Amino acid sequence: MKKIGKYFKECFLEMKKVSWPSKQVVLQSTWVVIVSTIIFAIVLGLVDTLLGLGLDLLF
């Protein structure tokens, strides 16, 4: 049990050393991920549709 307590104590101490980003940086990064995901989904959907139509024409 002492090892588990020591582990969590050390984890807590290490978390204090972490340089956390500001709220503004997190929000900006989140928007970049959301927009990138939407753009990638649209492009992938178009490619899938075009390939499906192309295969339908071939077969």
pLDDT tens-digit series, residues 1-55: 889 999 999 999 999 999 999 999 999 999 999 999 999 999 999 999 999 999 9
Q: Is the CA virtual torsion 25, 27, 30, 36 positive or negative?
A: negative
3-state helix, strand, coil in the chain (%, to 5): 90, 0, 10
What pLDDT does residue 2 have? 87
Residue with tokens 């969590």: 8
- Evaluate if residue 59 carries a pLDDT over 90: no
What pLDDT does residue 1 have? 80
